[in-house]
Amino acid sequence: MKDGGVQSFIDEKTGDISFDGGSDNRRNVSARSASRKFYISRDKSNLYSWKSRMTSANGTNIFYLRNDNSDEDLYIEEIFCFSDAKCDFDVKWVTGTPTGTTVTGINWNKNNGKTISVTALNSGVTGLTGDGDIIDIEVPAGTRQSYDFDGSLILGDGDAITITTDAIANVSINIIGGFE
């Protein structure tokens, strides 16, 4: 309703009728948005990264990540891959009882004191059975490529992925994900 050039509206906090308006009789508002990673880190203190560097062999599982949290899903935001030789990184669903070297996740909101419930392994992970290919990330020699899942790769309780390579190369993996 317009009343003397001023727009009336119901204030959502108080329920009262309020008046607002600029010189053109429009409500003055502003908004700001940020990435999902920002909100998971700031509001939930629940954004992590897992990083691994190694020499890979053709067809080896170079990284394994399983969500062991029964209360929250793990949303993979982005995976970064580097190789000093041309290499394909395959991200796959897997099952099994893996062995490998433990990788500790780093919380992006450092001072929160939260701990995570995941299994993250590297260095020639064994004991896995493939359960479906998700995506292939091609990396030219000496470069880094990433795939932005934007939270669309979701690991529920007990769900696991592995990353394999098709070359003998010095590689690096960085996975970013958050719990909600």
Could you state, in order of their start, the residue ranges of all structural domains in the chain?
A: 1-31, 36-179
For residues 173 and 123, is the Cβ–Cβ distance under 8 A?
no
- Spell out the CATH class of 36-179: mainly beta
46 falls in which pLDDT band (50, 70, 90)? confident
Predicted confidence band at 31 (pLDDT cuts at 50, 70, 90)?
A: low
Nearest alpha carbon to residue 49 among 77, 70, 73: 77
Burial 26-65 (b: 16+ CB within 10 A, else e): eeeeeeeeeeebeebbeeebbbbbbbbebebeeebbbbbb
Question: Residue 19 has what pLDDT?
Answer: 64
- Give pTM, 2 decimals: 0.78
Q: Report whether 176 contacts 77 (CB < 8 A).
A: yes
Q: How far is CA 87 from the centre of its chain?
A: 22
Residue for token pair 């995976």: 79
For 90-110, how does the pLDDT look when each residue is reduced to its tens digit (9 = 90+)?
999 999 999 999 999 998 888
pLDDT tens-place string over residues 129-170 = 887 899 999 999 999 999 999 889 999 999 999 999 988 899
- In this prediction, residue 1 has a pLDDT band, given cuts at 50, 70 and 90, of very low
- Mean pLDDT along residues 39-61: 84
Q: Is the pLDDT of residue 28 over 70?
A: no
